[in-house]
Structure 1
Amino acid sequence: MILPENNRIPKKVRTVHLIAVCGTAMGALACMLKDKGYQVTGSDNNIYPPMSRFLNEKGVSIMAGFDGSHLSHQPDLVVVGNAVSRENAEVVATAEMGLCYCSMPQAVNRFAAAGKRQVLVAGTHGKTTTSAILAWILFSAGRDPSFIIGGILPNFMSNYRTGTGDCIVIEADEYDTAFFDKGPKFLHYTPDAAILTSVEFDHADIYRDLDHVLDAFERFVTKIKPDSLLVSVDDDPNVSGLTGLVSCEQVSYGMKADSPWQLGETFIQPPVTRFQVIKSGQDYGSFRTRMIGAHNLKNTLAAIAVADYLGVTPEKIAEALDSFSGVRRRQEIRGEKRGVIVMDDFAHHPTAVKETLRAVRSHFSKNRIVAVFEPRTHSSMRRVFQQDYATVFDPADRICVRKPSMLQKVPEDERFSSERLVADLKQRGKDATHFEDTESIIDDLAHASVGGDVILIMSNGGFDNIHERLLESL
């Protein structure tokens, strides 16, 4: 076990080793450190593209597996990923060698966020997209921001950036920090401005219930400094219950007439959506975006509110939104064959599935929508959302549900049933099919798909590279 006094970052650091370096945030941190001139090494059990290629191109030395010998060079600092246990061989070696160690958010605070205005985006849904929009607005406006975000931004071909400007945009995660710090990651940051998009029960492996989640977010919002700003969505009762507890300046955004930031008239004109923004009852500006769906309009509105607070003009915001290329794996069209569109999305929580399907339906109103769903997260593989999933696929014309591939990680009496979901969907009159594996889904869709179909594939994982394999089969 690591001695508590070693949980610190020394004043002088030249060499850094990251345990579990191939995670999205850990990989971004490794690259940031490399950009700043540190000698960086890392290790992981799951080393595969695109993260492995990304790290190699940056000159980060990656070692396969976890072994105490990976620390033989005695780095000045060891950064421990949140999925790493205290029994990990490199954690044990860190303790035995008396090396200094820290968590990922501790390292971000020291090496990336120090001296900058921290702009955080928190919430159960929409964090990645909202962070990405805001980062691109600031960059387009010449503010040269830094950012660390949980998705690849095609505008930068990266999920991080080390800028010289005064702001850093951080996707503020409510997941736990490390085995030695079970508190949420977002409690490590001190925002000058924060966005709260939504609060729902999620991460069933970490949180007991909704009250446990609310407790974490309460700790987050009440920690915001009085001279900072909280921008919160106006139609989430869980969020509304939290905003009454804060001492900082706060504004709400959404559709309500009493919200300082409101969406005005909206016109869906594929491939773009045009919309008006109202600020404090006055016309703020007309904008357009290639992001689809009502949920993404709200994400965009939140980013606009914070950009305005940071001094970006409506004209600069409009220019940025017009050139924003979205986020990888968020309604990302991976290809089209035989007139069949294959789309990729990260949706896995019932609310995210519902909103994503509604968004796709709004832009492809005359197409047949085929939803392909892989329950893969710790929450979606548990029966906690079993009944909720049966009600969120209504916008789809056909639903294909894969049996979770890692059910053995969940206690038998807590497991989600894809067979039951399909049965419940059929009771609602939906065309639904259960599949044991990815190969059978590909075979089925390759034969059953026709020109004009939109196949929306939803998973938080790689899904056995189903997107490329399906396009090849088509």
Structure 2
Amino acid sequence: MELAMFDGKLLENAKHIHFIGVGGSGMYPLVQILHSKGYRISGSDNNETDTLALEREMGVEVFLGQRAENIGGADLIVYTAAIMSDNPELRAAKGSGVPTIERAELLGYLTSRYQNCICVCGTHGKTTTTSMITQVLVGAGLDPTAVIGGKLPLIHGSGCVGKSDIMVCEACEFNDHFLQLFPDIAVILNVDADHLDYFGTIENVIRSFHRFASLAQKAVFYNGDDANTVKAMEGISGKELLTFGWSDHCDYYPAEIVHEGAESSFDLYSGKNRLGRFTIHVPGRHNILNAVAAIAAALYVGTPVEAMKEQLAGFRGAARRFEILGKVRGITIADDYAHHPAEIAVTLKAAKELHFNQVWAVFQPFTYSRTKLLMDDFAKALSLADKVVMSEIMGSREKNTDGIYTSQLAEKIPGSVWFPEFEEITDYVTTNAQPGDLVITLGCGDVNKCAKMMLKR
């Protein structure tokens, strides 16, 4: 992908901005920010959602259905990467002569407007860590602007508009989108093989994270115990370089870790200096490291330690990140956004530590290319669950040119089953799950609908 040249005057002549895919979680915070600055906002989407209702309340003109005439009167048109190239509204936009840009370019422009922009990247854990930082800063009264890839209950959505010079931004490596951002402080959680349909090799992934780190103006906080991240940092200079990890060779690390169900507590050290004891209520060992990264970044912009302790103790996760949706007839229903084998493995290991009778993984594969490239890894990760139920693959922006199907994945997981429809999955799980079991839906598509259907049963 050839990155667009940065236009420092992007919004100078715009009064009316139109969003194609305005209901997306990544679009909503941008709408909030620009609406607060006085721009007239309109947008379209194909499905009615809670986000659209919130945007209407703000005064956004929302069109249901994507048609050429929706763009009328706009000075700038923004679309998401999920919009197909043959979408009639996008085609009309690109043929209209009106400046038409992808969401990542607009987000990049907005990050350039803040003096302390914290951009959080990594193959896994971005949303949780961005949410933790946002919760800490909002709760401590630092009044940040935030753009998160999921919903944070504290701010009732995926973003907020503050009056300070601090911005917290989730930085996604998909198609090198994060290279359009302007981080002052970069946080790199981990680097793994994902989006290989675009990157091709892990070496190319590492190269892109290196380029992202080089963009940071003030500091980079990175995982000193992750080999790929350390490799990505080779040759980076001209800014503060600070590590976090599990071991005391890192600048920030936890010690005296205690797990009690979904609760974990730990002492946090900066070098030999003990900063205090912190408690989090999101399950899994990986979330301790996410919290350490969040604390380190929040400290850098002046957040008091005691305020961080209080806010992290009250953090219960972002939506769709090991989110407990309810308990019916003794069966716990949860939902998680995990869609890469490493994420699925981490989530299922955390679930197994919570001492349920059986852990059910209800998985919706996302994109044919990822399923094909990582099929053996998916099979290994999902086999950590006691029961595996799968849906057909959600192709999203892709066409199934290679003939990849869930049945091929199911053959590699002994005892697994798959069904074409969520109704069939719901019937099977609600008939066979027993009191004391955990059922967790996994995937970045719409498999969370299945979790809600199970609850209703």
TM bracket (short chain): over 0.9
SS at match of 2:267: strand
Shift of 1:37: 2.1
Farther-moved stretch of structure 1 (452-461 vs 265-274): 265-274
Counterpart for residue 388 of structure 1: 377
1:318 to 304, 309, 316: 309
Amino acid at match of 1:170: C
Give the gaps of 5 or more residues in structure 1: 177-183
Match of 1:470 among 446, 450, 454: 454
Residue aligned with 1:206, SS: helix
Q: Residue 6 of structure 1 contacts residue 100 of structure 1 at CA under 8 Å; is this kept in 2?
A: no
Map of 1:47 onto structure 2: 47
Secondary structure at 1:18 match in 2: strand
Residue identity opposite 1:375 in structure 2: P
- Partners of 2:266 and 2:11 in 1: CA distance: 50
Partner secondary structure for residue 198 of structure 1: coil
What is the deviation of 1:85? 5.4
Deviation at 1:405, TM superposition (A): 4.6
- In 2 relative to 1, CA 383–111 (structure 1 residues): closer, same or farther, beyond 3 Å? closer
Change (3 A) 1:359 1:12: same
Q: Which position in structure 2 is the counterpart of 1:369?
A: 359
The farther-off stretch of 341-350 and 195-204 is 195-204
* Alignment match, 2:106: 107
- 2:329 matched to 1:341? no
Secondary structure of the structure 2 residue equivalent to 1:451: coil
Note the residue ranges of structure 2 that are not aligned, 5 or more in a row: none
> Which residue in the other structure is 2:410 paired with?
422
TM-score (normalizing by structure 2): 0.92
Summarize the alignment of residues 298-317 of structure 1 with structure 2, pairs less than 5 Å apart: 298-317=289-308
Q: Which runs of structure 2 are paired with 1:380-459 in the superposition (5 Å)? A: 380=370, 382-406=371-395, 409-413=398-402, 415=404, 417-426=405-414, 431-459=415-443
**AA in 2 matched with 1:436:** P
Q: CA deviation at 1:366?
A: 4.3
Q: Following the alignment from structure 2 to structure 1, what is the Cα–Cα distance between the partners of residues 91 and 441?
A: 40
Name the aligned partner's letter for residue 469 of structure 1: M
> Deviations 1:246-305 (Å, cap 9, x if unpaired)?
112211111123111111011112342111111102322101011110111111110011
Task: Write the deviation string for residues 183-217 of structure 1: whole angstroms up to 9, x where unpaired.
Answer: x2212222221110111121244222222222221
C-alpha distance 96-423 of structure 1, shift in aligned 2 (>3 A)? closer
Measured in 2, the distance between the counterparts of 1:366 and 1:88 equals: 45
- How much does 1:109 deviate? 4.3
**What residue number does 2:231 align with?**
241
Alpha-carbon distance between aligned partners in 2 of 1:19 and 1:35, rounded to the nearest angstrom? 19
Q: Note closer, same or farther for the CA distance 1:5–1:341 as it changes in structure 2 (3 Å cut).
A: closer
Q: Deviations over 1:287-328 (max 9, x none)?
A: 101111011111111001111222222211101111113100
Alignment of 1:164-183 (within 5 A): 164-176=163-175
Match of 2:251 in 1: 260
Paired AA for residue 35 in structure 2: K
Distance of aligned partners of 1:266 and 1:379 in 2 relative to their CA distance in 1, 3 Å threshold:
farther
Q: What is the alpha-carbon distance in structure 2 between the residues aligned to residue 97 and residue 420 of structure 1? A: 44
Aligned to 2:153: 154
Any residues of structure 2 matched to 1:122-271 within 5 Å, and which?
122-176=121-175, 184-225=176-217, 228-247=218-237, 248-271=239-262
For the residue of structure 2 that corresponds to 1:23, the secondary structure is coil
Deviation of 1:339 (Å)? 0.6
- Measure how far apart 1:402 and its partner are: 2.1
Q: 1:457 to 1:188 in 2, by over 3 A?
A: same
Q: Deviations over 1:111-134 (max 9, x none)?
A: 565143110001111111100000
Q: 1:461 aligns with which of 445, 449, 456?
A: 445
AA aligned to 1:444 is: Y
What CA distance in whole angstroms lies between the structure 2 residues aligned with 1:101 and 1:407?
A: 22
| Partner secondary structure for residue 202 of structure 1 | coil
Partner Cα separation in structure 2 for residue 422 and residue 265 of structure 1: 41
Q: Which residue of 2 aligns with 1:25?
A: 26
Question: Any idea what the Cα deviations from partners look like across 1:362-382, whole Å, max 9, x if unmatched?
Answer: 2x22432111111024544x3
For 1:92 and 1:387, locate their aligned partners in 2 and report how far apart those are by CA, in whole Å: 38
What's the counterpart of residue 64 of structure 2?
Answer: 64
**Following the alignment from structure 1 to structure 2, what is the Cα–Cα distance between the partners of residues 92 and 233?**
42
Q: Deviations over 1:383-420 (max 9, x none)?
A: 111111121134422111223254994444362x4333
- Residues 205 and 307 of structure 1, relative CA distance in 2, 3 Å threshold: same
The structural deviation recorded for 1:433 is 2.2
Gap change, CA 1:261 and 1:5, over 3 Å in 2: closer
For 1:285 and 1:408, how far apart are their aligned partners in 2?
46
Partner letter of residue 213 of structure 1?
Answer: V
1:255/1:441 CA distance change after superposition, 3 Å:
same
**Contact preservation (8 Å) 2:323, 2:334:** yes
Contact 1:230 1:249 in 2 (8 A): yes
Contact 1:6–1:98 (8 Å) recurs in 2: no
The amino acid across from 2:431 in the alignment is H
Bigger shift: residues 341-350 or 365-374? 365-374
Check 1:258–1:435 CA distance in 2 against 1; reply closer, same or farther (3 A cut): same
TM-score normalised to the size of structure 1? 0.89
Tell me if structure 2 keeps the 8 A contact 1:151–1:159. Answer: yes
Q: Provide the secondary structure at the position in 2 that maps to 1:299.
A: helix
Instruction: Identify which range, 145-154 or 459-468, moves more after superposition.
Output: 459-468
Find the aligned partners of 1:92 and 1:396 in 2 and give their Cα distance: 44
CA distance in 2, matches of 1:97, 1:308: 47
**Structure 1 residues 368, 91: closer, same or farther in 2, change over 3 A?**
closer
- How many residues are aligned here? 452
What's the % identity of the aligned pairs? Answer: 28
Give yes or no for contact 1:198–1:233 (8 Å, CA) kept in 2.
yes
Q: Distance in 1 between matches of 2:204 and 2:262?
A: 40
